[in-house]
Amino acid sequence: MHKQGEWRASKLVGVNVYNNSNEKIGDINDLILDSSGRVANVVIGVGGFLGMGEHNVAVAFDQLKFSKVPVNTASNAGAGKTGSASSVTTGSASTSVNRNDNWYPDHVVLNADKDQLKKMPEFKY
């Protein structure tokens, strides 16, 4: 049975990753599990267009904050949507109000910018 704070891995792939300034910096391409079945790293694709020229980096799962609330951007400002820090959760624990019943968050927040991620070693399969 689905529990709050649990997400289907297949639905996490493709979720957008934003920085603390609400700038899109990439999207989730894959999840790397450890031998106990826990998510150790998340592979984030940075840059590129339609998968071409994309730079994949592995980021520790606990560095990500998950939000079910849509990102507050200029295009949706004033539309009743917010993306405040109070709406994010860290790691696999969920403390936010369940505003939708999806099996995945709306977006992910990572405290980094696109240039920092592009400078990280490329994750290779």
Distances (CA, A) of 46 to 43, 61, 87, 94, 108: 10, 17, 24, 26, 14
- Domain coordinates of the chain in residue numbers? 9-119
Instruction: State the average pLDDT over residues 114-121.
Output: 93
Q: Assess contact for 118 and 79: CB atoms under 8 A.
A: no
Inform me whether the pLDDT recorded for 96 exceeds 60: no
CATH topology of domain 9-119: SH3 type barrels. (2.30.30)
Reported as a single tens digit per residue, the pLDDT across 41-50 is 999 999 877 7
Sequence-distant (6+) residues with CB within 8 A of 30 are 13, 42, 43, 56
Whether this prediction's pTM lies above 0.95 is answered by: no
Q: Assess contact for 89 and 65: CB atoms under 8 A.
A: yes
pLDDT at res. 99 = 44
How crowded is residue 47: how many other Cβ atoms within 10 Å of its Cβ?
A: 14
